[in-house]
Amino acid sequence: SRERYLRSVLRELVTYMIFLVVLCVLTYGTVSSSMYYYTRVMSQLFLETPVSKMEKTDFKTLSTMDDFWKFTEGPLLDGLYWEIWYNNKTVAENKSFIYYENLLLGVPRIRQLKVRNGSCSIPEDLKDEIKDCYDVYSVANEDTAPFGLRNGTAWTYTNEKDLNGSSHWGLIATYSGAGYYQDLSRTREVTAVQIASLKKNLWLDRGTRAAFIDFSVYNANINLFCVVRLLVEFPATGGLVTSWQFQPVRLIHYISTFDFFLAACEMAFCLFVLYYMVEEILEIHIHRLHYFRSLWNCLDILIIVLSVVAIGISIYRTSTVDVLLKKLLEDQNSFPNFEPLAYWQMQFNNIAAVTVFFVWIKLFKFVNFNRTMSQLSTTMSRCVKDVIGFAIMFFIIFLAYAQLAYLVFGTQIDDFSTFQDCIFTQFRIILGDFNFTEVEEANRILGPIYFTTFVFFMFFILLNMFLAIINDTYSEVKSDMAQQKAEMELSDLIRKGYNKAMIKLKLKKTTVDDISESLRQGGGKLNFDELRQDLKGKGHTDAEIEAIFTKYDQDGDQELTE
């Protein structure tokens, strides 16, 4: 029956809501506002501090190799080594605590990647004028030969495997985890000498394409690590481009009471994943390929897969951090490579966020048992074909304009410098966020024509077509559902159960009142026959009277007293 089916759905909804609460507690319990403030203070220290008192240049606005060395000799050293208090007293234990709160773990590392001379072709007409040529960075063009002093890791190439490195996606290229590196020191004086030596012996040259500055800090007050990477890219055009990563991660778990509560939630989450996995396997076994025809079933599989991957990453992260910290404690003058751990922690955060998103989306499956929400979901399913046809037409026009913008404005406007940027910039135009002056200055003729026609087609034609498709389909669905026979909804079942519960509570209260009144009339004492006769007159059945008497006659003497 419909009611039996809805009862089954309600049980499933209750179980799913418990799963959702556990998942939300887990995901939100590992994130706090402290992470934002941690990132902010660390980024302000290294990104916004001027290279000198006489210059306003900071890390974000570096433009030459000379600026890079000014940064390393100034803000970098000042930021890494807090060895003296403001009253000139030395910090206890001679350790560096950034902001006096964040312990610098091990030593920082500077690493660079180079390309070979002759890695690009020089036109025949200019060979007499140009002798050297350094191509844009790629693994194939990477220089691996010793250079400069030709001794030590700063002047000899080390491969990615030996460095335990990984590739990094920069603004200009994707860089390998290999290169020439210099591990700095735990003291400011020695590090200053190391940097001065690199600068004096021309460690950076025309072949340099990227320089990485890596270090990690730990704040015990909030139990957070911050894995920092500052990247300076040297494009083949000259100059440099800066980017950065500040990744606050919680790598040490199970310390506070709340951590152990989260551990219990983790165990509950694993049990839920196992339960749903078995459930889906049984459904696939019963329904075979028909199982995959339902969008909700596919969503269930996706949620389970994401959950299993998140559990695997969590286990790997927890087991690996212990090994890394043990090595760091054994040799505090080594570089602790927390970058892979930070990477996997960020992937865990991303997967957890996507999982939470899809788990919330699945609630629509249960909301569909409401008539109003069913209208919305039916509207979306009916207009799919029309929307797909509209999307094809929309993107033909949209990509045509993106190509036009890239070719016309790509060399002059940052927002159109790549085809990908053109696509996102046009979405911003649709939302009304756009600088028309830049386009007009780039091309006084094609700029206004591009902007005017794009807005006309997007806003006044295509957007209205999309709304018309949705409105027409919704009207049809609403008309069809008005002609259908009304069925019992999930909200009706909940309301029915609520009313039954309230009636039982009310009857219970009425029965107690009737017994009290009978006792008062009988002088504070009643036997079974007297109570039966009294309650019979007030509409109670024999079964109810017997059950009541049995409940309240605790001494079994067949009499009730006040």
Name the residue type at position 368.
Answer: N
Q: Which residues contact 9 (CB under 8 A, 6 or more apart)?
A: 366, 369, 490
User: 259 a known binding residue?
Assistant: no
User: 386 a known binding residue?
Assistant: no
User: 480 a known binding residue?
Assistant: no
d(CA 541, CA 266): 51
d(CA 97, CA 99): 6
φ, ψ for residue 83, nearest 5 deg: -95, -10
Number of H helices, E strands in the chain: 19, 10
Q: Which residues contact 180 (CB under 8 A, 6 or more apart)?
A: 111, 112, 113, 114, 147, 153, 154, 155, 156, 157, 158, 203
**Distant-in-sequence contacts of 162-167, Cβ < 8 A, 24+ apart:** 163/111, 163/337, 164/337, 164/340, 165/337, 165/339, 166/339, 166/340, 166/343
DSSP letters, 488-525, are: --HHHHHHHHHHHHHHHHHHHHHHHHHHHHHHHHTTTE
d(CA 16, CA 359): 9
DSSP letters, 78-119, are: HHH---B-TTSPBPGGG--EETTTEEEEEEEEEEEEEB-BT-
Residue identified by tokens 């070719």 is 407
Q: Do 493 and 3 contact (CB within 8 A), yes or no?
A: yes
Name the residue type at position 332.
Answer: Q
- Cβ neighbours, 10 Å, residue 447: 20
Q: Do 179 and 158 contact (CB within 8 A), yes or no?
A: yes
Report the Cα 67 to chain-centroid distance in Å.
34
d(CA 316, CA 310): 10
Q: Which residues contact 383 (CB under 8 A, 6 or more apart)?
A: 469, 470, 473
Q: Do 343 and 166 contact (CB within 8 A), yes or no?
A: yes
Three-class secondary structure of residue 218 per DSSP: strand
Name the residue type at position 375.
Answer: Q
Q: Which two tokens stand for residue 216?
A: 């990690």
User: 553 a known binding residue?
Assistant: yes
* Local structure of residue 137 (DSSP, 8 states): P
- Cβ neighbours, 10 Å, residue 178: 20
Closest by CA to 163, choosing from 337, 36, 319, is 337
Q: Which two tokens stand for residue 184?
A: 């700095």
Closest by CA to 164, choosing from 397, 336, 361, is 336
Binding-site annotation, residues for Ca(2+): 553, 555, 557, 559
Binding-site annotation, residues: 553, 555, 557, 559
